[in-house]
A and B are shown apart, each in its own frame.
Chain A
């Protein structure tokens, strides 16, 4: 069952990604992108990573909608615009893509999967996949762990250890990044407004 679902999602993710490259219509590209990203979210759910899956759906798929709008509004002059890329950029893209594929495949092949599975079994017993509480078949409850880790409480590291110094949280970096994004947003809005302010009085 798991293998079947994995095959479906993985095939949809890869097929969608290839279709994005091969399609020449902006809106169809965005649609295939949604399929690809949505299937990736499905893969995350299969790994019990519910928070990451939900984030993938909200941010990437929602982001694609915005991309679609701007893609249509800013580029399209005819009803169904097609995009053709030049042969040079095609060759360049293929070279970069092939390099990246080689890197990913190399990394995947280097991982000692059997050894890792054996180590997990040694840690949690043979039935580590079906143990009560957090397990692969159960519901993903990663949110609580992520939330507490953000605040600096790492249950997987700190407890039962009597450490003098607990782990540090990620709240400060997170806040810095979010404030940074806010600054960028306000800056962009300011720049976009400033132009209009200069031009409008001079014309009228």
Chain B
């Protein structure tokens, strides 16, 4: 066993093996986590901005960037970044300068925090929480707050229009987003993103999108709604270059402006990865023998390689969804704000409610059966994952074990404070 893996966490390793103090170890572990996540937060933005330029160029029959970095213009994002850093940081006289300066940071922090709950491969997650999905969606909705504040505090009509449109858009897209995200939760019986992903192991027909017709449609509704949540065309009303100059970021320049775009591309990647984990089999290749070989092997090296493979698979799958988002942006015209509201509230909400009911009914009528009537074993795995409680020694201490990884820290003991009244 590798020495690092003997410790449950990095901070345990530092305290046990290197003899660090608890606080120092915890602080360094936090820094390692943040640095790793920061890389995964920045890289999608780096690649996404380049891809946006390149794909838009090709769609418009241009070449896009070709020279920066030698070939294909692959360093274009870096050049953009350096250029933006050199620009003067200015704000209008009419602006509420405190809110104006704070707003980009709210957007970027919200987008970054959401990455905390995203599993990049089996158990490769910064915080594995039972409320993972719920919390990720809650934090993503904070991003909108920063955009509204930016729009309001700029002291400009264009910005205010952009911010208000974003607010109206948020009210309309959050409902179908929540309902469609609940469908995989309903099937998996957990809001822990790692567990939702793990339920879809095996052949690709175990992926939730292929489970029944309702989940298949739910994925497309989810994807449409995430386009709206990222302010991507055809829902990019908050920016709307042709009508509102730049929308909520009209008055921004330099570093603060680039923070908005960092956050936008990072959350584009985030929602794509979320869609992959919820519907498209997460980090599994979809070919059972390959995954089983890596998963059931005793050697930790092979297990580790399996996780690396899963990471690559997740990256590829979500990059494809990001590409799809870019493709849609450069293909479809922008909707009007009332059309956005109509699409989200009038059509997508009833559709997602129907899909939710359908998926529920399907789960009740045909437990463990997929759309193609192949026993996917989902029901068995769900039963396996069901909570089994053992009577404990003390009358109020009960350990509730999760059989799939009973030895892991998922085992929990019922909260002690609730049973105070019995004493």
Give residues in A with beta carbon < 8 Å to B.
1, 25, 27-28, 31, 34, 38, 50-51, 53-55, 57-58, 61-62, 64-66, 68-69, 72-73, 79-80, 119-120, 123-124, 128, 131-135, 138-145, 148, 154-157, 159-161
Pick the most buried of B98, B137, B149, B410: most chain A CB atoms within 10 A of its CB.
B149
Pick the most buried of A68, A73, A144: most chain B CB atoms within 10 A of its CB.
A144
| Residue among A53, A58, A66, A155 making CB contact with B389, cutoff 8 Å | A155
Residue of A nearest to B103 (CB): A31
Range of interface residues on chain B? 35 or more
Q: In the bound complex, do residue A139 and residue B96 qualify as a contact, i.e. CB atoms below 8 Å apart?
A: no
Which residues of chain B come closer than 8 Å to A157, judged between CB atoms? 418-419, 422
* A69/B135 contact (C-beta < 8 A), A79-B94, A157-B419, A157-B422 known: no
Q: In the bound complex, do residue A134 and residue B412 qualify as a contact, i.e. CB atoms below 8 Å apart?
A: yes
Q: In the bound complex, do residue A27 and residue B138 qualify as a contact, i.e. CB atoms below 8 Å apart?
A: no
* A58/B411 contact (C-beta < 8 A), A65-B145, A123-B396, A143-B131 known: no
Which residues of chain A come closer than 8 Å to B396, judged between CB atoms? 123, 156
| Residue among A27, A123, A148 making CB contact with B397, cutoff 8 Å | A123
Residue of A nearest to B402 (CB): A144
Q: A123 to chain B: closest CB distance in Å?
A: 6
- Which of B20-28, B319-327, B374-382 binds A? B20-28
Which residues of chain B come closer than 8 Å to A58, judged between CB atoms? 134, 137-138, 141
Which residues of chain A come closer than 8 Å to B423, judged between CB atoms? 119
| Residue among B155, B389, B409 making CB contact with A133, cutoff 8 Å | B409
The distance in angstroms between the C-alpha atoms of A25 and B95, with both chains bound, is 13
The distance in angstroms between the C-alpha atoms of A175 and B197, with both chains bound, is 30
Which B382-423 residues have C-beta < 8 A from chain A?
Answer: 387, 389, 391-392, 394-400, 409-416, 418-419, 422-423
The distance in angstroms between the C-alpha atoms of A132 and B397, with both chains bound, is 12
Which residues of chain A come closer than 8 Å to B145, judged between CB atoms? 34, 61, 64-65, 68
Given A27-B152, A61-B145, A145-B412: 4 more A-B contacts, CB < 8 Å: A66-B171, A69-B168, A72-B164, A155-B389
Q: In the bound complex, do residue A144 and residue B412 qualify as a contact, i.e. CB atoms below 8 Å apart?
A: yes
| Residue among B96, B170, B411, B422 making CB contact with A132, cutoff 8 Å | B411
Q: List 27 A-B contacts (CB under 8 A).
A: A1-B23, A1-B26, A27-B152, A50-B130, A51-B134, A53-B135, A54-B131, A58-B134, A61-B142, A61-B145, A64-B145, A65-B167, A68-B148, A69-B164, A131-B413, A132-B411, A134-B415, A138-B409, A141-B129, A141-B130, A141-B412, A142-B415, A144-B130, A145-B412, A145-B415, A154-B418, A155-B389
The distance in angstroms between the C-alpha atoms of A132 and B407, with both chains bound, is 10
The answer to the question of B221 belonging to the interface, with a C-beta cut-off of 8 Å to chain A, is: no
Which residues of chain A come closer than 8 Å to B410, judged between CB atoms? 141
Interface of A is mostly: helix
Q: A25 to chain B: closest CB distance in Å?
A: 7
Which residues of chain A come closer than 8 Å to B128, judged between CB atoms? 139
Which residues of chain B come closer than 8 Å to A145, judged between CB atoms? 400, 412, 414-415
Which residues of chain B come closer than 8 Å to A72, judged between CB atoms? 152, 164
Pick the most buried of B164, B168, B413, B419: most chain A CB atoms within 10 A of its CB.
B413
The answer to the question of B127 belonging to the interface, with a C-beta cut-off of 8 Å to chain A, is: yes
Which residues of chain B come closer than 8 Å to A160, judged between CB atoms? 391-392, 395, 398
Q: In the bound complex, do residue A28 and residue B96 qualify as a contact, i.e. CB atoms below 8 Å apart?
A: yes
Contact pattern, B 172-195, Cβ under 8 Å of A = 1, otherwise 0 = 001000000000000000010000
Residue of B nearest to A28 (CB): B99
The distance in angstroms between the C-alpha atoms of A68 and B153, with both chains bound, is 12
* A155/B99 contact (C-beta < 8 A), A51-B131, A144-B412, A148-B387 known: no
The distance in angstroms between the C-alpha atoms of A160 and B399, with both chains bound, is 11
Residue of A nearest to B94 (CB): A79
The distance in angstroms between the C-alpha atoms of A145 and B413, with both chains bound, is 9
